Structure formats: C-alpha cells, structure tokens
A and B are shown apart, each in its own frame.
Chain A
Amino acid sequence: MQFTDTPGSLSYRFAVEGMNFKTAGSAAMRIKRLLLDVGYEPQLARRAAIIAYELEMNLIIHGGGGQLAVKLSPDFIEIYAGDQGPGIPDVELAMQEGYSTAPPQVREMGLGAGMGLPNVKHWADVLKIDTKVDEGTRLRAIVYCTQSK
C-alpha cells in the first residue's frame, strides 16, 4: 500500500518525528486547517481530523515516526500514515478497545488508553491496514463525503 496522488484531488504529506511530544498533534492540526479551508461539512471534517490525530500519535508513540498524509477530494477525504517501525504483530488485538503497548512514560502523559485504532475504525468509512513485524505499518482511512456517521 502506497500513498499516491490522484488527479482531481490534492495531497499533502507531513513528516512526523518518533517520540517527539513537543510537536505532537501539529500535523493533524495543519490537516484540520486544510479541511476548514476547503469548507467540508463540519461533521466530516471532524471525523477526518480525529483520524489524523490518532494516526499521528501512533506514528509518534509506536511507529518510530513516519509520514502522515492527507488527500482531499470533493468525494472523499483520505488519511494515510506510514512508518518503518516495529509493525503490529496482532492487528485484531490492536483494534480492541483498551489494548495498548504504550510504554509507562507515555501513559503518564495521559496517552496510550488503547482507544486510538478503535476510534479510527469507528469514524472511517474504510480502514485498511498493511503491517509486517520489523518492517513497518501503513494505514489508509477514508471518509466519504456522501455518508454520515
């Protein structure tokens, strides 16, 4: 799974640094501003913004950093996160509410509640995960502009 440009849509890519909590959330914030500029329906924009935030945090906490990207189209909003980190050994387990392997110092910051991926799944119309242990993880989430959730 790769993040590629699509004609008629607009893509932005942001580099996200692993374990850097100073700038955590800033890529998602940039994405949120882009969504406001386009003027997507507020509920759609919110869903995409939450997805972007959760995926960015996972890149920071678990993925050792990577790339967060967004594709804006009149028909859909796509959020992509790709890293070359440890990968997810058991995706089904990772998708469960409350499951987290976040280290203690991250939990002390109030993160790592194990709700990120379940939230992403909840708000996305389509979620695809491509992951391999020791190679990395790629996630693609799509929010369609016609559906409401």
Chain B
Amino acid sequence: MTNASHNDVHKDDLHVSLRGATKVFRRADDGSEVHALGPVDLDLKRGEFFAVVGPSGCGKSTLLEVLAGLSTVTAGTVTFEGKPISGEVPDGVGVVFQEDACFPWMTVADNIAFGLRQAGAAEGEIRARVEGALALMGLNAFAASYPAQLSGGMRQRVCIARTLVLQPRLILLDEPFGALDQQTRLLMGEELLRLWRETGATIFLITHALDEAAMLADRIGVMSARPGRLLEIVETGWPETRDSTIVEKPEFGHVTARLWQWLRAESMKSVGRMDRP
C-alpha cells in the first residue's frame, strides 16, 4: 500500500461515471418487473470518498453491483476509468459485500489470501500482505482459525481484509460495518480513512448509519425510496486528514441533520410501501 502519489496527481480525474443508469429486474417465473434503480447520474472523482444512504430496499446494493460489473444496467451507461462496464468485472475494482462472504472451509489467513492466490501473486508477497492485513484488522491471533470460530463482526473484517489486500483503485463497500458495535465501527471507520489516504483509492460506501456517512465521506448521496434515484448530494467539506473526532464539530451536526431531512420522508415512504404487498 505505497502508491500514495496518485491521490494528489489525479484528484480531479473522473474515475467513475453513471449516466441514466437504470435497473429493472424481470422475474423469470411470472415475468413481472421490479424497477429497482434509477435513472442515476453520478460522477466520482478519482480518490474521492463517496457515501450513499437511502431507505431499505431502495436499490443501493443494486447500484453497487452495477458498479462492480456483476450486474448490467437495463438502460444508461456506466464507465470506469474511461471504459464502459457491461457485465464484466473490471480490473482494479474491489467489493465488500453486505452478506458474509467468508469461505467457511478456509482459515482466516487463506480467506484473506484468496484473491491474491487467484491473481497468481508470489507466495512471499502473499504472506507479507496477508500479515499486514491481519494486523490492520486486529485479526493476528485468528490467522489459523476458521470463520465459524469468529464473531460476525470479525468475519466482516476478514472480508474487508480480503478485498483490501488486492489494493483496488475503486473500493465498493456495502454496509461493511453493519455487524460491528458502535466503538469498533468508529475505529474501523478511522482505519478506512487512513487506508483511503494512503492508497488514494476511490471509495464508494453504502451505509445505513447517517453519522458514519457524515463522518467518513467527502460527499454523500441520498437515495429515494425504490426505484432508487439520487435525491441530493451533500458535500461535507472535511479536510483530507480527518478522523472520528470530527463528530464534535457543529458542522457534523448540520450534515447529519440535512441527511435526515432528506431521508425522513423517503424512509416513511419505503416503510409504508412495505405494508402493501
């Protein structure tokens, strides 16, 4: 994790670009359609920290899968580093999924090494990077354990480590701290900020915690109830060298309050919609 330089050099480069990105799921059994996402227009600058908040089921994970190249848009375009993404996983993109993605038959160390082995890295290199990631995630003592012996939060940290060791240029995180307690969540957030500064990676973070979004991100996209559209993008204006102490600032309260203003109505819509089949 040494390439700190391109952070400053390309800060204003366009890294990811969505134009009218829309996703409609068609169910195979009865042919009914679910309009899950969009249209969404969004530009992410290289090295920026972007967070997304939105009511449950509004299409956040769908948006992430489109960015990851795991899912194709039904309309619109998605480009990463100038090249269109169309159902092909582009090089340099790493994902931490919302669900537990640990391989239960592998030790923690082997889980973290998985992507590196797959990419054909040398064993020495793999060992060094895995060791670094274990230390970073506070999992040193569990290198030889199996995921079943870990808590949910620890397993999520394994998944984060597995993605980080690949040193992706675009990191997509889907509620990565959802299974963590509040203290660990704050500390992991700080670690994420540190990593972000050191690697210069672009980060796209989905979260349901408004304070987390407000503390970590440069910009926060607020999504509407399904079909998910971007209602508003809130700029935080934090300095690059920030940490969790930012929560003491009055501006932090302003940002969180603005997010809630936007989300309150949408969340009620989303909950109301849940009552009806």
Q: Check if A and B associate.
A: no
Q: Interface of B with A (CB < 8 Å)?
A: none
Q: CB within 8 Å of B: which residues of A? A: none
